[in-house]
Amino acid sequence: MKLNELAPKIKKATRKRKGQGNSAGQGTYGGRGMNGQNARAGGGVRPGFEGGQTPLIQRMPKMRGFNNPNRVESQVLNLTVLEANFGDGEKVNFDSLVTKKLINKNNAKVKILGAGEITKKVEVEEGLLISAGARAAIEKAGGKVAGAKAEKVEKAKKEEKPAAKKAAK
């Protein structure tokens, strides 16, 4: 093997040199057709241009508003679901909900709503969102609701009372 014998596996197609005369096979109009905007040097129109007619994209109806691509929908659970799937004293957390196939593990945002009734003493652990009605129903049944959200609500209630007394004086 010599350097002058080396050749690529796939040969590169030779580029047609247009407009080099009729004997070259691409003379006269050079593949540009008859005269017109597209036949001129630097000529042509932008994509979507329809010769001055209102373009298709402008003729289509517009949908107003905005869809946030990063929005995360909460997976909703009602008290009736907890009543049916959890026993007395069981802990309700993200992992237990996934193992019982009540929620999808891809979405970590879970909210418990107060539809229905609950009689079992369940413990809702930190990390789940819970509505005020659901919190009241669980606590009424003897269960517990843990987490930072519960503490913040209690602290806010404690802070409101002294402020109301000061305002009354």
Give all domains of the chain, ordered by start, each with its CATH number. Answer: 75-168 (3.100.10.10)
Q: Where residue 6 falls among pLDDT bands split at 50, 70, 90?
A: very high
Q: Would the pLDDT of 151 be above 50?
A: no
160 pLDDT above the threshold of 70: no
Identify the band that residue 79 occupies on the pLDDT scale cut at 50, 70 and 90: very high
Tokens coding 16: 């047609």
Given a cut of 90, whether residue 50 has pLDDT beyond it is yes
Specify the range with the lowest mean pLDDT, choosing from 32-41, 103-112, 156-165. 156-165
Mean pLDDT across 69-74? 88
104-140 pLDDT per residue, tens:
888 778 899 988 888 888 989 888 899 999 999 999 9
**In angstroms, rounded to a whole number, what is the distance separating the alpha carbons of residues 75 and 86?**
18
Written as one letter, the residue type at 144 is K
Q: What percent of the chain has pLDDT over 70?
A: 86
Digit-coded pLDDT (tens) for 90-110: 889 889 999 998 988 887 788
Predicted confidence at residue 157, as pLDDT, reads 59
